[in-house]
Amino acid sequence: MKIRENLGLKISFSLALIMIVVTGAIAYYLIRTQTSMLETEIMKKVETLTTIGSQIMEVKLEMGVELEYFSIEEAFDTTYVAIAGTNPLKYNTRTDSYFDQNIQGIEDSFLKDDGIVYAILVDRNGYCPTHNSIYTKPITGNQEVDLLGNRTKRIFNDPVGLKAARNTKGFLKQHYTRDTGELLWDLSMPVYFVGEHWGAFRIGYSIDKMTNHIKSLTYSLMFVMIFLIVLLSLLIFFFINRSMSELRRITNIASHMADGNLTNEVQTKSRDEIGRLADVLERMRISLKLSIEELKKMK
């Protein structure tokens, strides 16, 4: 039987189409809201980590003075001694040895989140005395390899880096294209020492990682919605087809009646429109049968 001649399929298809539109609209709304919530949640988490990092670095600066690794004046000293033969240029300061020993492990602890690319302390000029260990590998002499592998003791004075280093207004979020080509969110928090702005604690969060998280969430929601659409469509078809089976049975009896066969009673337990139709056909069958019997007697 052709689909256009099957009432059950017509009804099922119409309901499934409506359901797809409604479910699609719900899915779109859920995806938009959930991805927005996910991005907000990630940013809040990183903001918290940045705040914690800046507070730890403030304590470490204070400890450096208390333990007499350097004086307050030396902590703010911006005399950078260039290291010959480095490209990009690297520098040394009087506080480097203390930072190498006391903050790299702390910085590395922030990289446990796979979305965080770097977590570093920089002074007001963007100088990074100690970078994460994954970016403090031995210099190979290959500039392309060393650009990523050894980033410590550099001055990151690009517009994003300087804005982060000199920001004094609290948490700062910037879109950052790293000199390695990576696209990141640069999240920073000011670092203060003895009541004066010293620099910032910066965290780089991978935009690709965030995009992948959002894609994963989107695909999961889409899979659930498609599964629900298929399941509900099958259930709709099953129940409508089951409901229509009684109508098909009555239709077959009516067809036999039209062919002159009045022996089959039109009976049903249904109390809805199909049941009322069966009652009407049964009365019609009885009336036709009586009329035919009367005609036979008259002959």
Note the pLDDT of residue 288. 74
Residue among 50, 95, 55, 89 nearest 73 (CA):
95
Tokens read off for 242: 């089951």
Q: What percent of the chain has pLDDT over 70?
A: 94
Mean predicted confidence (pLDDT) in 55-79: 94
Note the pLDDT of residue 6. 64
Right CATH for 53-207 from 1.10.10.10, 3.30.70.1400, 3.30.450.20, 3.30.930.10: 3.30.450.20
- Read off the pTM: 0.69
Tokens read off for 190: 């000011």
Ranking 19-23, 76-80, 105-109 by mean pLDDT, the lowest is: 19-23
Q: Are strands 116-123 and 196-206 parallel, antiparallel or unpaired?
A: antiparallel
Give the start-to-end residue ranges of the domains of the chain: 53-207
Mean predicted confidence (pLDDT) in 90-104: 93
- Residues facing 47 on adjacent strands: none
Q: Using H for helix, E for strand and C for coil, what is the string for the chain? A: CCHHHCHHHHHHHHHHHHHHHHHHHHHHHHHHHHHHHHHHHHHHHHHHHHHHHHHHHHHHHHHHHHCCCCCHHHHCCCCCEEECCCCCCEEECCCHHHHHHHCHHHHHHHHHCCCEEEEEEEECCCECCCCCHHHECCCCCCHHHHHHHECCCCECCCHHHHHHHHCCCCCEEEEEECCCCCEEEEEEEEEEECCEEEEEEEEEEEHHHHHHHHHHHHHHHHHHHHHHHHHHHHHHHHHHHHHHHHHHHHHHHHHHHHCCCCCCCCCCCCCCHHHHHHHHHHHHHHHHHHHHHHHHHHC
8 falls in which pLDDT band (50, 70, 90)?
A: low
More reliable by pLDDT, 268 or 117 = 117
241 falls in which pLDDT band (50, 70, 90)?
A: confident
Mean predicted confidence (pLDDT) in 137-159: 91
1 falls in which pLDDT band (50, 70, 90)?
A: very low
Q: Is the pLDDT of residue 37 over 60?
A: yes
Note the pLDDT of residue 4. 44
For residue 78, the one-letter residue type is: T
Residue among 127, 82, 81, 116 nearest 205 (CA):
116
More reliable by pLDDT, 193 or 2 = 193
Task: Give 178-229 pLDDT, tens digit per residue.
Answer: 988 889 999 999 999 999 999 999 999 998 877 777 778 778 877 887 888 7
| Count of C-beta atoms within a 10 Å radius of residue 29 | 10
Mean predicted confidence (pLDDT) in 32-45: 84
Task: Give 273-298 pLDDT, tens digit per residue.
Answer: 777 777 777 787 777 777 777 777 77
Note the pLDDT of residue 299. 60
Note the pLDDT of residue 24. 79
